[in-house]
Structures are given as structure tokens and as C-alpha cells.
Amino acid sequence: MALAHVLGVPRIGANRELKFSQEAFWRGEIDAAALKAVGSGIRQANWQRQHAAGLDFVTVGDFAFYDQMLNHVALLGCAPARFGFGETLELAQYFQLARGNAACHAMEMTKWFDTNYHYLVPELKPDSRFSLGAQWLFDEVAEAQTAGFNVKPVLIGPLSFLWLAKEKAAGFDRLDLLDRLLPVYAQILARLKTQGVEWVQIDEPILSLDLPSGWRAAFERAYHHLNAAGVKLLLASYFGPLRENLLTALKLPVAGVHVDCVRGGDELAQVIDWLPATKVLSAGVIDGRNIWKSDLNAVFERLEGLHLRLADRLWLAPSCSLLHVPASLAGEAGLDAELKSWLAFADEKIAALATLKTGFNEGRPAVAAALSDNARALASRHASQRVHDEAVAARLAALTSLHDARNKPFTARQALQRERFRLPLFPTTTIGSFPQTAAIRSARARFKKGEIGAAGYAAAMQREIRHAVEKQEALGLDVLVHGEAERNDMVEYFGEQLTGFAFSQNGWVQSYGSRCVKPPIVYGDVSRPQPMTVDWARYAQSLTGKPMKGMLTGPVTMLQWSFVRDDQPRAATALQIALAIRDEAVDLEAAGIGIIQIDEPAYREGLPLRRADWPPYLEWASRAFRISASGVNDATQIHTHMCYSEFNDILPAIAAMDADVITIETSRSDMELLRGFGDFDYPNEIGPGVYDIHSPRIPDAEEMVRLLEKAAQVIAPEKLWVNPDCGLKTRGWAETEAALSQMVAAARSLRQACQRAVAR
Ligand code: GLN
Ligand code: ZN
């Protein structure tokens, strides 16, 4: 008898109930008891769904009011001491850790592996202590048991917890804290055992990373310790193959292992070879990272032999937690029926798991109808005219090295562009968006609802563009932008105008805390039926004699922030998008736009988890960017923008994008991010952000001058641009104007200083 389970499910509720009640709680509109009731309702519904589908366990501990790592900080009693909280946390204090309070800034947040989920980073110091803290996990276990469910709690393992934490003092290694941490984990396991728990899932996703040998070695010690608690441990790895960590994982003294058979599929044979004869193997065969139906018949072919061998030691599961997919297709009335038949959100993945379980245990005829439905859906996707566009395929096949390079090298282009634009030294610009005011949002909403027509909407947007242009002229900026008033989201805006993209109505995925995103679905070959931004850009340029920068989203970012096809390599999808963006850039140029920015904020996020996989990624990612950017003439200036990441380790790959100008985030790190520019001579022009747009604080000109002087130590002043860190859409106009006028003043004062230096 094969068993079935999930590693975790979405926790925001079918209709984002968690978000709305979190926010109501923060506004003081509901109390903690009311919020807890919403959480309890979501958990009960999730467990009920798993139970009703015939899964052998319900997973407990995957719920969190903000974040699962923060829950572990609470559970392990290690909230940062700077908050001054006691050992157990109130819900309100828990949120203060995540969001900050009057006295303390929030804990840092960072991306969870290569997903778009963000976790709160535990803060560790040499004197950090751990102790059994919040009792929530035990309460939730009891809650599920009372409701009659067979419970499998889930914990983030001690090594992944330490790895994902940050050392907040110099001169110590957080791995040294393991010995203090293990006794608390042992206590947690012992406590779960007294609650009658048989199996505990313990997640160690860092097993899919490049680990220093000391960390790998620590696994054995850690799991010997935890094994003594006497509960059965299912060690779960996911997000990639195990590679050199494979033997470590399989030999640990645990009762079972979960492996990612989607991303680590090639390793399955090896896993089976090394799997000790008593251990359970949880095979993650349903992709937890995308929204496509799995090929269930193929899973049967693949695992049938294994099932005969392992029998009830074979567990079936999604590859990872379903946190990263939307909850259910049930509400998707707007999606076209054919496309919908190809999709599986969390509920549908759970149903697929149930089909697999029945099929393995009762024989495939028992699920014949479900299997033939599945095969039919896959065949229709495979053959669909809407997926495959011969013109796109032909264009891709015809790509040569001519398409991914500008005509002339950078220095020649730079000369042409200087001649054309005659910009001053330290030219000033912004990153694209201006404040998205209530008026803008309401105009967009009314247009979507049909309350105003296209003409009325266009007029409203033109008013906004005119306003933004007037403000920029008054401020004295050198390169202007139209302000992006017409855009809700930088990916959705383009996706809605491209073929091959679809949008769900309710396909929300948690990004962090109460923040959810609704990623577009790339289902087919991508092309651009008509210009997407040209009218707005042309209008904006007509209002000013200064250069107006056209604004596009780059192929890698479009890919990274969408659910993408699994029937062709990511690189192929990226190239298709690149060609569509290239067409747009060429049309912008023809409409008289001389400077075009192609944003790639997600360029670094796309990096594979393992370093060995970086070079091929960087190769196709930079090529996709260059394809999007090199249809234009050499006198047209291409900008790109990136934010929120460490760039130094990929500087050569960023240089390989060959943008004429790059603007990047640096101000929050006091230009520390420019460190790498000392060693690597970045060839093109660069605008290191001089102020943090995420803070309402208005910096003064002197501060920005100081930052630019710091930048000038590693980058030649003739290459420097002056701009904020990122787009201004989240700010108000008053602060935006105040900050930009300081920024323009900073650029002017630097120019004067340079003139004085030349005169001397
Ligand atoms: N052009 C975009 C903006 O200004 C860039 C956003 C981003 O980097 N995430 O809003
Ligand atoms: Zn940005």
C-alpha cells in the first residue's frame, strides 16, 4: 500500500482571508481572538481537504500568521534580543518582529531559495540561546487531533534553520550554535511524541545547495541526536537534486526521506540504489513549483517497479510544499475551458495525488477514467494551436549572432549618443514610475469595470503623463520618463498584451506576510500582435524637448515572475519574450524615442541554486536581454535597471548584457554594493541609486554627494548617472518632489566641483 501526503499547502485561504484579517488586525479593527479564529478556519479547511482526498496524513505546522521561519524563531525562543520580548510571544509581538515597531526596525526579509516567497531572517549572535518558546505548533497538533485527523507535523530542520539565519556579530560561525539548538529540537520532538505523533516531517531544503563540508558533516551529528527522541523522522529535501549531498541524506539515522523527483528526477535510480532497506521513500512526483497538470500515466510507468519493491514504504507527494502555487482552480470562471483543463493548482494537485494513490494500491483500472482524462488534457495541450505558433518557431530558428549584438561596440555607441543627447556630466534621471495616486488607481478600476470608455481612460492617463512631465521639467531632470501611470504591474501590463500569456482571477500566491502576487501564466508561444507602449511614449515625448525614456520590462523578469511552460526549456520561453520586447523597442525608436530602458530587476533572482548551474543560465539570460535590446540603432541608448540583489558575483554577466547604461540599487548599502567595481572594470555607464525609495525619509543633497563621491572612487565620473534606487510608484508626490530636488542639486554641485577641478 503506497501512502500519500503533502509537504505543506497554501495558507492564505481560498479567498485571501488571511491577508484581509491580518491587515484588519494591524489596523486595530479586529482583535487577536478574531484573527486566530480565521487562522483556525483556514487550517481546518486545509486539513479537511487533505483528509477528504484520502491522504494518509494531514500536515500540521505549515500554517503561519506571517512566515514559517518566523514561527520557528518563536518556537525556538530566539527572537532578536533587541526587541526585548520575553520567551513566549504574543501575536502582536510576533508581528512586530516582522514589521518593526517604534523602537526597532523589522527583521530582515529575503527570498526563500529560488521562489518568490520571502522569509524573515533569524538573527544570531555568539551568545544566542534557544529554548522551547511559542506553543502554537503543539496547540495546532492538538487541534487537528481533536478534529480526528492523523497528524504529521512539519518542522524546518536545525541545519536549514541555521543556514538561513544571519550572523549579527563578527567573528563567529553560526554552525557553532548547533549544539545549543539540538536539545531544543529534541524537546520539541519529545513533546510531539507525548502528543501521540508517529511521524514528523523535518525539512532540510539546504540539501539541494552547495554545502561546505563542515555543514554536510554536521548533518550526521544532528540527526543522531534527534533520532534519540523516538519519533519517526521524514527528512525532506526539495528544490533540486541532492548531488554530492545524496549519500549524506540517505544514510542519516531517520525513518524516511523525501526527494524532489521533478527537479531531481535523474537521481531517482541512484536514490533507490542507496536507500537502506528499512527506510520510507517519499517520492515528490507532482511539481509543486508550477501550475501544470502532471502526466499521471508517466508517474505510473516510472514508479510501478519501485512500488512493487517498497510497497508501503513508498509515499507519494508533490515535489515541495504547495505554498508556491495558488489554492484552487474552482473559482476560475474566467479562464478559457481548454486552458483550464491543462492546469492544476494546489487542490487539483492533491486530487492528482489521490488518483495516484488509488491507482498504485488498487490497480490502474480503478482510476481508468481519471487517467484517461489526464491523458486527454495533456494531449490537447501538446497539440494545441494556441500553444504552438509556427511563425514564432521560425523566428527563433532564424536567430543568429547578429541578433544578439548591437552594430558597434559600446565606446563607438557612446560617442554617437553623447553627440546626440549632449547630456551634462552626472546626468539625472529616474527609474520609471511616479506615484500611483488614488486618482490613477480609480481611473484604472473604472476602466476595467467599463464605467469609463477607452477615450476617457486615455485622457485621464494623458493628464497624469503631462503632470509627471511638468514636474520633471520643473525639477530640472535631464532624462525624463512618462511615469507608468497606465501600468498596474510591470509584468502583467506587458503579459496582457502578448499572445501566449493568460491571467487567473484568483490565482494568488503568498509573497510575504499579507502580500500576495498573482503571477501570469505563460502557456504558449509568445508574440506581440501590436505595439504596447508606443502611444503613451510618443505622447510623453511630444510634451518636452528633453529626451523621454521609453520603459519596457525585460525577458528574464517577465519569465521569473510568471508561471512558465514546462514543455520547453525556460531559455526558449525567454528568447520568445525577448523577440516580442525587441519589436517594441524598434517601434519605440521609430516613434522618436531615443532612450529605452529595459528593466531586469529579477535578473539575479533567476540564478540557479547551485553555482555549477550558473554559467549556462547567465549565458542564455544575457543573450535574451541582448536580443531584446539590439534591434535598435547605435545612437539609441539602451538602459537597464536592477534592484535588491548582490551584483558583485555576476558583474561579468551583467557587463555581457551590454546595456549602454545600468541603474542599480546601492544606497541602502551605502554604496557597499559597488565593492566589486573596484576589481572588475565595468565597461559601460552606470547609475548607482543615490537614495532609498522604500523609505519616506528625504535625504539631503550633501548625503547624495557623499555617496556619489564614494561611487566615483571605483567608477570613472564620466560614466556616472544620478538616479534613485528604484521606481517611485509607492511614494507620494510631496516626498518625491522634495527628494528629487535634492538629487538634482547634488548632481549640480558635483558638476561644479568638476568644472573647478578642470579650471585649476
Ligand atoms: N520601471 C519600474 C518602475 O520604476 C522598475 C520597477 C522595479 O525595478 N521593480 O517602477
Ligand atoms: Zn527597481
- The contacts of residue 443 (CB under 8 Å, 6+ apart) are 452, 457, 460, 461
Residue 489 has what pLDDT? 92
The helix (run of H) or strand (run of E) holding residue 93 is helix 91-99
3-class state of residue 498 by DSSP? coil
- The contacts of residue 436 (CB under 8 Å, 6+ apart) are 485, 729, 730
Q: Which residue CA neighbors atom 8 of ligand 1 most closely?
A: 601
Candidates 429, 481, 484, 663: which one to mutate for ligand 1, based on the most atoms within 8 Å of Cβ?
Answer: 484
- The contacts of residue 704 (CB under 8 Å, 6+ apart) are 690, 691, 722, 742, 743, 746
The helix (run of H) or strand (run of E) holding residue 512 is strand 509-512
Pocket of ligand 1 (CB under 6 A): 431-433, 484, 490, 551, 599, 601, 641, 643, 726-727, 729
45-75 pLDDT, tens digit each: 999 999 999 999 999 999 999 999 999 999 9
The pLDDT of residue 645 is above 80: no
Catalytic residue among 388, 403, 467, 694: 694
Averaged pLDDT, 325-353: 96
**Locus of grid cell 535634492:** 742
Residue 182 has what pLDDT? 98
Candidates 560, 644, 665, 726: which one to mutate for ligand 1, based on the most atoms within 8 Å of Cβ?
Answer: 726
> Would you list the DSSP string of 152-203?
EEEEE-HHHHHHHSEE-SSS--GGGGHHHHHHHHHHHHHHHHHTT--EEEEE
Identify which ligand lies nearest to the alpha carbon of 689. Answer: 2
Cα–Cα distance for residue pair 327/345, rounded to 1 Å: 6
- Within 10 A of 228 (CB to CB), how many other CB atoms are there? 12
Q: Please classify residue 503 by burial: count the beta carbons closer than 10 Å to its beta carbon, then call 0-12 exposed, 13-18 middle and 19+ buried.
A: middle
Residue count of the chain: 760
What Rg value do the Cα atoms of the chain yield, rounded? 27
Q: Using 50, 70 and 90 to split pLDDT, how confident is the model at 759?
A: confident
Expressed in angstroms and rounded, the spacing between residue 632 Cα and the centre of ligand 2 is 24
Residue 86 has what pLDDT? 84
Expressed in angstroms and rounded, the spacing between residue 612 Cα and the centre of ligand 2 is 27
Distance (Å) of CA 475 to CA 102, 231, 461: 33, 66, 21
Under 8 Å between Cβ of 482 and 551: yes
Expressed in angstroms and rounded, the spacing between residue 490 Cα and the centre of ligand 1 is 7
Identify which ligand lies nearest to the alpha carbon of 600. Answer: 1
Averaged pLDDT, 182-209: 98
6-16 pLDDT, tens digit each: 999 999 999 99
CA-642 nearest atom, ligand 1: 8
Residue 705 has what pLDDT? 96
Q: Which residue CA neighbors atom 6 of ligand 1 most closely?
A: 727
Under 8 Å between Cβ of 729 and 744: no
Identify which ligand lies nearest to the alpha carbon of 599. Answer: 1
Mean pLDDT of the chain: 96
Averaged pLDDT, 1-28: 97
Candidates 599, 644, 661, 668: which one to mutate for ligand 1, based on the most atoms within 8 Å of Cβ?
Answer: 599
CA-643 nearest atom, ligand 1: 8
CA-729 nearest atom, ligand 1: 10
Residue 695 has what pLDDT? 83
CA-727 nearest atom, ligand 1: 4
CA-431 nearest atom, ligand 1: 4
The pLDDT of residue 308 is above 80: yes
Expressed in angstroms and rounded, the spacing between residue 529 Cα and the centre of ligand 1 is 24
Q: Using 50, 70 and 90 to split pLDDT, how confident is the model at 37?
A: very high
Q: Which residue CA neighbors atom 5 of ligand 1 most closely?
A: 727
Check if 694 is active-site. Answer: yes
Q: Which residue CA neighbors atom 10 of ligand 1 most closely?
A: 727
565-615 pLDDT, tens digit each: 999 999 999 999 999 999 999 999 999 999 999 999 999 999 999 999 999
Distance (Å) of CA 40 to CA 34, 147, 516: 10, 12, 20
Residue 403 has what pLDDT? 93
Identify which ligand lies nearest to the alpha carbon of 665. Answer: 2
447-471 pLDDT, tens digit each: 999 999 999 999 999 999 999 999 9
CA-430 nearest atom, ligand 1: 4
CA-433 nearest atom, ligand 1: 4
Residue 364 has what pLDDT? 96
Q: Using 50, 70 and 90 to split pLDDT, how confident is the model at 25?
A: very high
- Within 10 A of 491 (CB to CB), how many other CB atoms are there? 22
- Within 10 A of 473 (CB to CB), how many other CB atoms are there? 14
Expressed in angstroms and rounded, the spacing between residue 726 Cα and the centre of ligand 2 is 4
Expressed in angstroms and rounded, the spacing between residue 736 Cα and the centre of ligand 2 is 16
Cα–Cα distance for residue pair 723/54, rounded to 1 Å: 56
Under 8 Å between Cβ of 362 and 342: no
Task: Quote the pTM value.
Answer: 0.95
3-class state of residue 256 by DSSP? strand
410-451 pLDDT, tens digit each: 999 999 999 999 999 999 999 999 999 999 999 999 999 999
Q: Using 50, 70 and 90 to split pLDDT, how confident is the model at 649?
A: confident
Expressed in angstroms and rounded, the spacing between residue 491 Cα and the centre of ligand 1 is 10
Averaged pLDDT, 692-704: 90
Q: Which residue CA neighbors atom 3 of ligand 1 most closely?
A: 727
Residue 241 has what pLDDT? 98
CA-601 nearest atom, ligand 1: 8
Which residues in 15-31 are b (16+ Cβ under 10 Å) and which e?
A: ebebbebbeebeeeebe
Candidates 430, 431, 491, 598: which one to mutate for ligand 1, based on the most atoms within 8 Å of Cβ?
Answer: 431
> Would you list the DSSP string of 518-563?
---EEEEEEE-SS-SSHHHHHHHHHT-SSPEEEEEE-HHHHHHTSB
DSSP structural state of residue 34: H
Query: Can you name the residues that pair with 71 across neighbouring β-strands?
Result: none
Identify which ligand lies nearest to the alpha carbon of 493. Answer: 1
Q: Which residue CA neighbors atom 9 of ligand 1 most closely?
A: 601
Cα–Cα distance for residue pair 519/291, rounded to 1 Å: 11
* H-state helical runs in 317-453: 337-340, 346-362, 368-383, 390-397, 410-421, 438-448
Residue 675 has what pLDDT? 80
Residue 643 has what pLDDT? 86
Q: Which residue CA neighbors atom 4 of ligand 1 most closely?
A: 727
Residue 326 has what pLDDT? 98
Please name the amino acid found at residue 153. P
Residue 603's closest CA among 545, 661, 662, 563?
Answer: 662
71-81 pLDDT, tens digit each: 999 999 999 99
Q: Using 50, 70 and 90 to split pLDDT, how confident is the model at 666?
A: confident
Q: Which residue CA neighbors atom 1 of ligand 1 most closely?
A: 432
3-class state of residue 148 by DSSP? coil
Please name the amino acid found at residue 295. D
Expressed in angstroms and rounded, the spacing between residue 727 Cα and the centre of ligand 2 is 6
Expressed in angstroms and rounded, the spacing between residue 728 Cα and the centre of ligand 1 is 8
- Within 10 A of 345 (CB to CB), how many other CB atoms are there? 22
Residue 672 has what pLDDT? 76
> Would you list the DSSP string of 695-726?
S-----HHHHHHHHHHHHTTS-GGGB-B--SS
Residue 674 has what pLDDT? 80
Specify the range with the lowest mean pLDDT, choosing from 142-156, 213-227, 691-705, 730-744.
691-705
Identify which ligand lies nearest to the alpha carbon of 694. Answer: 2
Cα–Cα distance for residue pair 251/254, rounded to 1 Å: 8
Q: What percent of the chain has pLDDT over 70?
A: 100
Pairing of strands 661-664, 685-688: parallel
Q: Using 50, 70 and 90 to split pLDDT, how confident is the model at 710?
A: very high
The pLDDT of residue 365 is above 90: yes
Expressed in angstroms and rounded, the spacing between residue 698 Cα and the centre of ligand 2 is 18
Residue 671 has what pLDDT? 77
537-546 pLDDT, tens digit each: 999 999 999 9
Under 8 Å between Cβ of 644 and 665: yes
Query: Can you name the residues that pair with 595 across neighbouring β-strands?
Result: 549, 637
Please name the amino acid found at residue 632. V
